[in-house]
Structures are given as C-alpha cells and as structure tokens.
Structure 1
C-alpha cells in the first residue's frame, strides 16, 4: 500500500539550493523572497518558501510544492516572459556562485500542505 494518493502523486516537490557569491547571501535571499511574492495565488503553486542557512548565510534554499509539472512549467514560462519582474532571472543568477542544486521530492503531507 502506497503512502501517496493518486492526486498527491502528481505533485512536484523541489528543494533548490543556491550558494551566493561571498557576502551576498542576504541580497540573494531578499531577491528570492520578492520572486516568491509573485507566486502568491499563481495557479498550482501550493508552497514556495525561501530559507537561509543560519550557519552559512550565503546558502539559500527554496522549498517548493506544485500541483503538477504543468504548473511548474507555467510559472517558469511566466518568469521568462514577464515584462517587469520584481527581480530578473539574470539578476538572481548574477548573485549565485556556481550552479544551483535541485533535489526532486515527492510531497507526502504535513503541516501547511493541503491534503
């Protein structure tokens, strides 16, 4: 018996880790919080939380839960084509030291996550 319902199985969970250029962790975190604000009410975005590592403030995490892969793709396309984004993807990437790390997850449930 699977712990994941059929509806939940379509969900997309991601943990993105970004290492900011030295000393730019606060700036990167603030920019990503502004990006997260644009996703409030975006169809399919269930959770998008920015976190900063207490021990290493230049490391920033984004924890995401989406209803499905189509919602993720729609959000990425909207970000690519936005006329006046609060923060451009290029500006975010200019603060990042190396590639972002992505871990794909299966959201199962918990506090803050709709059943």
Structure 2
C-alpha cells in the first residue's frame, strides 16, 4: 500500500491496530505489517489464512468502536492497494503444506 506523502507512519499505525484485532481470530495464521526501509510511505501487509472463508469472515466482522475502520485505511492511501494472492507451500512460521506437524 502506498500512503499519501508523509503518511506512511500513520498508515502503519492503523494497520497495526487492525492486526491487534486479529490476534486469536479463527483461521488467521499470519498478519504482518512491514514498512519499506527506503520509502516509509510504502507499507506491506502479509496475510496467511487457513482458508478463504476465514479471510472473508475477518473482513465481514463488525468493526469495534475502539478499532480502525476500513475507511480509515483507505483515506490514507494515495492509490488503490495492490494485492497478490499466493498459495503457501511452507516455511518458517507457517504450518506444513501437508498439514502434518
């Protein structure tokens, strides 16, 4: 995601508040917020979900009164977010692709 100039820190802060809401959310395995070291107005969200239904449930969950709203994120963006869907095959921090521990 690319924030309006000078708003990368604010965007990252809002996304970190989203991440707090997802602790313990069913199906959320990773929700990682990163900021580009060379361009702090670029913020990355890396998400790993057990399945698409879990990800959609998180999007459909009602916003908390004390939490950020999707509109809070969108207002900080200078362009629409870029999304890349991947199939996780494995690695450190993820369950094995075959489901065996």
Give TM-score, length-normalised by structure 2.
0.91
Structure 1: which 5+ residue stretches go unaligned? Answer: 1-17
| Counterpart in the other structure of 1:55 | 38
| Displacement of 1:85 | 4.8
| Counterpart in the other structure of 2:67 | 86
In the aligned structure 1, how far is the partner of 2:66 from the partner of 2:23? 14
SS of the residue 2:29 aligns to: strand
In the aligned structure 1, how far is the partner of 2:41 from the partner of 2:33? 13
In the aligned structure 1, how far is the partner of 2:78 from the partner of 2:28? 27
Give TM-score, length-normalised by structure 1.
0.80
Higher relative contact order (CA 8 A, sep 6+): 1
Q: Which has the higher strand share?
A: 1
Instruction: Count how many residue pairs are aligned between Structure 1 and Structure 2.
Output: 96
| Counterpart in the other structure of 1:113 | 94
Runs of at least 4 residues off by over 4 Å:
none
In the aligned structure 2, how far is the partner of 1:73 from the partner of 1:85? 21
Structure 2: which 5+ residue stretches go unaligned? Answer: 97-101
SS of the residue 1:103 aligns to: coil
Name the Cα RMSD after superposition.
Answer: 0.9
| Counterpart in the other structure of 2:99 | none
Residue 64 (structure 1) aligned with residue 47 (structure 2): yes
